[in-house]
Amino acid sequence: MLNYLKNNLTKGYRISPRKEVKTSFALILLFALIALAVGNAGNLFSFQIVDGKTACIALFSLFLFPALLEESFFRGLIIPLNTRQRGKQTILLFTLLSATLFTLWHPLNALTINPGAQVFFCDPYFLVIVFCLGMACSLSYISSQSLWVPIIIHWLTVVIWVLFLGGRNLLLQG
């Protein structure tokens, strides 16, 4: 187990995020289009800009959790670094496993740790977006072999949601 952590997680942090940039960009674009469509259909978004002091704190805290910690676990620990070399079936298996566990984590988090998020984190439209984010992050990690790519994707997604699309306010309502 320690060898797996050393070879998977730490190597994932050391690999440059510049590998497979076109693939990562395509995944981000596809995810963004799906997220916007689903979010609008589910009335999840309300355009609001968070004040500057809160935004500065959010930029840092959202990088640590959820982006860094969740991606380290759901991609860095669950998906073997050599998945890409093991074929399409293995890619599909680990992508679906990681995205599904990532999706299930959100309502579990809301029901146990963060009850203020229950209304939102248990919303089916939100969970579709989370699953799609999990798929994009998983595929970008498998493609690039760098944990920084899904960390950046996850961080940017949550920052945009919290700072501009009312995510913070929706969570505070729950």
For 25-38, write each residue's pLDDT tens digit.
999 999 999 999 99
Sorted by where each begins, the domain ranges of the chain are: 2-13+21-173
What are 58-68's pLDDT values in tens digits? 999 999 999 99
Q: How far is CA 81 from the centre of its chain?
A: 18
Which amino acid, 7? N
What are the residue ranges of helices labelled H in the chain?
A: 2-5, 11-14, 21-41, 52-62, 69-71, 88-112, 118-121, 124-144, 148-164, 167-173
Task: Find, among 102, 73, 88, 105, the residue nearest to 142 by Cα.
Answer: 88
Whether this model's pTM surpasses 0.85 = yes
pLDDT (0 to 100) of residue 169: 56
pLDDT surpasses 60 at 171? no
What are 76-108's pLDDT values in tens digits? 999 999 999 999 999 999 999 999 999 999 999
Count of Cβ atoms closer than 10 Å to residue 58 Cβ: 17
Q: How far apart are CA 134 and CA 129, in angstroms?
A: 9
